[in-house]
Structure 1
Amino acid sequence: MFKSLFRPKQQPGRAVSTDGRVVYAVGDVHGRLDLLDGLVDRMTEDYRATGREDRPVLVMLGDYVDRGAQSAAVIDRLIDLKAQAANEGRFEFRALMGNHEETLLHFLDDPQAGPSWVEYGGGETMASYGVQRPVGRADPEVWEQTRQAFRAAFPVAHATFLRQLELMVVYGDYVFVHAGVRPGLPLERQVAADLLWIRNEFLDNPHGLGATVVHGHTPVEEVFVGRQRINVDTGAYATGVLTAVRLDGGEPKIIQFSKARAA
């Protein structure tokens, strides 16, 4: 389904501003710490090559957990990046919530969220924290036991990090969200359910914001760079390719890391 190499599919652009900032936006990681570490190195090299000395911005677009095997380690890495940004001041760090983080938090409070969560990757996240998912069609009592075990294994620092995730950030003419926006509504009227979950209504229709929406959530074979939106989710958990876009007021630059290409 996915190609091993991704080239951006582009539409004719217009001049857009980042308010003078250099912004890197990273697509869905989904438990692939190996790819995240490699991409961070690539972005660091790329920024050094620009010759700039101001603080770049790193925007993580959500869906850090599930499907891949290293969800717990990915959250550790993001917490470390957030601490580096706060303590050293060399870059600004912004992390958005994805629908998978929302579902994980829901399961911490409600065992009924478990069956649907494991259907799209929650079992791998449980395993990364040392908790075994129920086998087969488990009854509510088993799911409650699993929830309690997961809560006990889930570090307080991880829960705090996830609960502090943002839904949207804006730099100049760019709006960064996880999934997309509801077409026809101004930013101040957008709701969390759409920012985290929307697909076709956003992908198939002009949103009318007068801005470019940068998002993940929907895996694509080729990075999509358009006037209305930029999609950098290249299905890292399945393809082994994690993607970022650099935005600085000029043409967007795609930066990728894959273990195959690094070898």
Structure 2
Amino acid sequence: MTRAYAIGDIHGHLDKLEAAHALIAEDRARCGDTDAPVVHIGDLVDRGPDSPGVIQFLIDGQARGENWVVLKGNHDRMMEMFLREQPMVDTQLLYDHNWLHPRIGGIETLASYGVDVPEGSRTYQFHPKARAAVPERHRDYLANLPSHYRLGDLYFAHAGIRPGLPLDQQTEDDLCWIRKEFYDSNADHGPLIVHGHTPVDAVTHYGNRLNIDTGAGHGKAISAVVIEGRDAWVLGPSGREGVTREDPIFPI
């Protein structure tokens, strides 16, 4: 039986991330499993108060040999693209948006690195300061995050997959950004797709996908889950708790 742990969207909340890892450690102790990977579903940064702390926590854990997988979310991608030597805007954004749009959270992330973005300022006026404030190690870490992870009958991606396209042909654009086409699909994708990206009130199992984003980017919780085969449980103070189920009807 395949077992994996997964943690939903983090959005700069180091305290909630540490609490999620504590719940995983408790479950490991109960079931005696020290080997199952912990998959972080992406969106490490933006909106929360400590994006630098989140990135460094994950770097340090992987450096000491923790079996952690950290995936790239759309917010991680936007940050990395903006902080390149020549700043870029993600082509998946609305035409009048960029990483520093008030709805996105880049301003809060730069503030957590000690960089203020004066209202009405132009990118060239603070971009060099932003690059200098964010350690190169953090920028490189975001740039090199994988966009997916496969483990047996599980496939992890921040946003989901494009239905009907073989898994080995999925694009980073979709893996980091897709919504409607994926959510509207009741197709059997083969493996269970574990994703975040769009908050739900509670971790929800749809039969063909499992959404583990419970809204940390909007002041709510980070969820930690354990998955065995295709079954999942939320980890809470009292141990494993059931997940909400909304099973699709697969076509014959």
1:6 paired residue number: none
2:83 paired residue number: 108
Q: Structure 2 unaligned runs (5+)? A: 91-96, 238-252
1:93 paired residue number: 68
Q: Deviations over 1:20-58 (max 9, x none)?
A: xx3111110000011001111111011111123x41201
1:10 paired residue number: none
1:42 aligns with 2:18: no
Q: TM-score, normalised by structure 1?
A: 0.82
1:214 paired residue number: 194
Q: Deviations over 1:180-228 (max 9, x none)?
A: 1001111011111000000011001134421110000001112111210
Residue 24 of structure 2 aligns with an amino acid whose one-letter code is M
Mapped to 1, the partners of 2:231 and 2:153 lie a distance apart of: 13
Mapped to 2, the partners of 1:172 and 1:255 lie a distance apart of: 22
1:133 aligns with 2:114: no
Q: Structure 1 unaligned runs (5+)? A: 1-16, 86-90, 258-263
Percent identical pairs in the alignment equals 41
1:158 paired residue number: 138
1:233 aligns with 2:213: yes
Mapped to 1, the partners of 2:107 and 2:219 lie a distance apart of: 20
2:161 paired residue number: 181
Mapped to 2, the partners of 1:131 and 1:33 lie a distance apart of: 19
- Aligned-partner SS, 2:185: coil
User: Runs of 4+ in structure 1 displaced over 6 angstroms?
Assistant: none
Residue 113 of structure 1 aligns with an amino acid whose one-letter code is V
Q: For residue 252 of structure 1, report the CA deviation from its aligned partner.
A: 1.0
1:13 paired residue number: none
2:107 paired residue number: 123
Q: TM-score, normalised by structure 2?
A: 0.85
Mapped to 1, the partners of 2:171 and 2:88 lie a distance apart of: 24
RMSD over aligned Cα, in angstroms? 1.8
Residue 150 of structure 2 aligns with an amino acid whose one-letter code is V
- In structure 2, relative to structure 1, the CA distance for the partners of 1:212 and 1:145 (3 Å cut) is same
2:243 paired residue number: none
Mapped to 2, the partners of 1:256 and 1:36 lie a distance apart of: 13
Higher relative contact order (CA 8 A, sep 6+): 1
Greater fraction of residues in helix: 1
Q: For residue 256 of structure 1, report the CA deviation from its aligned partner.
A: 4.9
